């Protein structure tokens, strides 16, 4: 997929976002956040950042440095659902590596996982997997966040069931651990 061409945010949408926040405190961050939210795959593509730069007169280098500094900005297309697996010591000891091994079996993820990438997205753009250093809930290890909901004592069976459910009915409301 050519992400730059196919995933760019409509310039009319970017114009509207810019004008709504013009002159307000934290303008650039808010505008970038909303542009990312407006993107189909929840990321800031090159073309949208270039357009944002041209319309706001903020140098493109500054926009890139903000996008790379804050972890909530994505520079690659994101999946519809997100799974964040804790890789801290307590979670590692309780088996978080096994959970990541399960997730590496998602279509198109093996190569990225084997090369040590900490974020990878399935080729059908259904799931993005990320890791985090610690959720601060070490007593409940291993800990995984599924679409923003934190789950504790997560097992490999739960992860496999989650992936299986997604394949079978692909319903957003069923994308949770049981």
Q: Between residues 2 and 71, which has the closer beta carbon with respect to ligand FES?
A: 71
Among 55, 137, 155, 165, binds ligand FES (CB under 6 A): 137
138 binds ligand FES (CB under 6 A): yes
Q: Does 86 interact with ligand FES (rule: CB under 6 A)?
A: yes
Closest CA to 161 of 175, 142, 147: 175
If one asks whether residue 84 binds ligand FES (CB under 6 A), the answer comes out as no
CA-wise closest residue to 175 among 163, 18, 26, 118:
163
Residue 36: its H or E element: helix 27-38
CB 85 within 8 A of CB 96: yes
Binding of residue 145 to ligand FES (CB under 6 A): no
Cβ-based nearer residue to ligand FES, 54 or 156: 156
Shortest distance, CB of residue 86 to ligand FES, whole angstroms? 3
Taking each helix axis as running N to C, give the angle between helix 60-69 and helix 27-38, from 0 to 180 degrees, rounded to the nearest 10.
80
Q: Binding residue for ligand FES (CB under 6 A) from 35, 91, 99, 109?
A: 91
Which residue has tokens 């959970």? 99
Which of 32-40, 117-125, 134-142, 163-171 is the region at the interface with ligand FES (rule: CB under 6 A)? 134-142
Structure tokens that stand for 171 in this block: 């319903």
Residues in CB range of 61: below 8 A, 6 or more apart: none
- Of 79 and 88, the one with the shorter C-beta distance to ligand FES is 88
Q: Which stretches of the chain bind ligand FES, using CB under 6 A?
A: 86, 88-91, 134-138, 141, 143
């Amino acid at each position: 997929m050519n992400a730059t061409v196919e995933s760019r945010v409509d310039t009319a949408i970017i114009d509207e976002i810019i004008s709504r926040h013009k002159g307000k405190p934290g303008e650039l961050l808010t505008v970038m956040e909303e542009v990312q939210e407006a993107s189909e795959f929840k990321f800031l593509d090159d073309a949208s950042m270039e357009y944002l730069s041209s319309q706001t007169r903020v140098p493109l280098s500054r926009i890139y440095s903000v996008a790379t500094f804050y972890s909530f900005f994505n520079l690659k297309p994101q999946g519809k659902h997100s799974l964040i697996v804790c890789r801290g010591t307590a979670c590692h000891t309780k088996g978080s590596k096994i959970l990541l091994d399960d997730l590496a079996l998602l279509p198109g993820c093996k190569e990225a996982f084997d090369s040590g990438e900490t974020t990878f997205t399935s080729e059908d753009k259904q799931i993005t997997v990320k890791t985090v250093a610690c959720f601060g809930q070490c007593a409940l290890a291993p800990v995984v966040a599924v679409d923003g909901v934190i789950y504790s004592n997560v097992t490999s069976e739960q992860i496999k069931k989650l992936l299986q459910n997604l394949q079978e009915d692909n319903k957003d409301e069923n994308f949770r651990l049981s």
